[in-house]
Structure 1
Amino acid sequence: MAAPFVEEIQSRWPMAALPDAAALERLARNSPEQLAGVRVVITNGSTGLSAAQMDALPALRLVCSYGAGYENINLAAADARGVAVTHAPGVNNATVADHALALMLACARGLPALDRAVKAGHWLAHRMARPAVHGKRLGIVGMGNIGALIARRAAAFDMEIAYTTRGARPELPYRHVPDVLELARASDYLVLACPGGAATRHLVNAAVLEALGSKGFLVNIARGSVVDTAALMQALERRTIAGAALDVIEDEPALPPGAALLDTLILTPHISGRSPEAQLAQHEVLLANLAAHFAGGPLRHALA
């Protein structure tokens, strides 16, 4: 959370404490009495809040996810304890979709490697042809709000768009494919825009990468858990696929072994949803829910 947002929260609620993860763990181990009065927890989908953590907070009444994701917040545990859970859906959808297209273009055209080469004085040696995006086949895993925005942007590149979801969306003009393996076979670019969590863990595995093929590119702006990282690294090292661009990785921020040596891998630090506009919007949702909770009013985007 940006420093001005932290300052605003603490100016409105002076008792607010916003520790980092390590400080929170120390607090839980050593100072249970300091947790006894905690009524609200602000977290996010990746960090979440477990049943055991809720048990350490007997006064807890509200969990706010700072963003759209909530996959690691135990909703059943919250419901059983009478704890409300909120999130901020939609506030960064357009920013995430923009970033997905940026990653797709960057890996197709090899932009980071070309930038480094030119700055190192190697102009002529790197003027080889690079794959285009226009007219190519795009497969989108997940066709929620973000997936639909990615598809709209890709349509401007005259891409042939298909997608896979648990159920087709007949109102959309794109081809529905029943599973990710078939979608990978039919794609030049495979973009992941699905939720995280147990249901999608390692959805993209060695077989899917093999199906994507040696001319195919993978883009992930979903969750790192959706991709089997070991299988991806092997696919990149063996040139099973042409390249990958990831905004999220398993065990982030730790990099997979060998990642820094691969010119075919582009990484960004989980910032696809971060723009000034998106951050302000999600902060306003958070402030509204904090104010509503302490005033006894209705919450926005309540999950439980």
Structure 2
Amino acid sequence: MYKELNHFTALRYVEAAARHQSYSLAAQELYVTQAAVSQQIRLLESHLGRKLFYRQGRAMQPTSQGKQLAQALSDSFESIAASVKQISCEPLEGVLTVTTTQSFASMILIPNMWRFAQAYPHIAVRVLVSPAVEDIRHTEVDVAIRYGHSQFPGLEQEVILEEQLVPLCSPTFAQQAKLNDIANMAHCQLVYYTYNDYWQNWFNKAGISRCSDNSQWLEVSNMDFALGAVITGHGVCLGSPMQAKHYLEQGLLVQPFDISCEPSVRYSFLFNPDSPRRERISEFRNWLVDLLNKP
């Protein structure tokens, strides 16, 4: 049965040589010598009684029969690879490693992981905090949840959270600063982010001239720190209602005004489409999207 496959090694060499139009490049890909590629192809040509390649300059061009055979081999190898990948998937049970920013981890993931554990007790989630945007195709990480508008070629990418920034503060501060009147925002203590001063956009939209007194400002590096500051009564910050949701629900924060501003907060869900843990990734993605879309 399938006697022609007795020459399987030579068939692999033919496909690679035709794709590269080079015996030497085929040899590099297959980790053999150029002489081995040449010898195997000559033996196959002798067996078939047909030339499969001819030299043109420095390239080895496939003949019409060589092209026909190489295309059939390429299609077959792709089908075999797809089948192997499909059956190599790990079971649903196991560990799922997720990396994200400190803000997303502390304000959304960690406070809700008990819910995921109850719904999916067979999946153990490891949460890693990292500011770096690593290529998760070459790490132990299964899912990356990243802030910003960047694109990541080679990865599946889905925007799972996008909303504009709104002013947030403690109820006590809102009362003390008389934030029932938006004009009083011009004299408030304000928290801003080191790399992005979004307050100017907000004041422009609100039609207010902001105070230039530097003593009224606190500079922090991320939203997590900003929310921590305003919870203790240190002024007003611009934040994401979703990320501050549990603080708002607990009454630790209030949103004194409905005016929001650009740019938006955007988080993307990233994963390797060839991951053997696709089932776990899919379950986690569905749970997280449902969580973020709850009113």
Common fold by TM > 0.5: no
- Structure exhibiting the larger radius of gyration computed from Cα positions: 2
If asked which structure has higher relative contact order (CA below 8 Å, sep 6+), I would say 2
More strand by share: 2
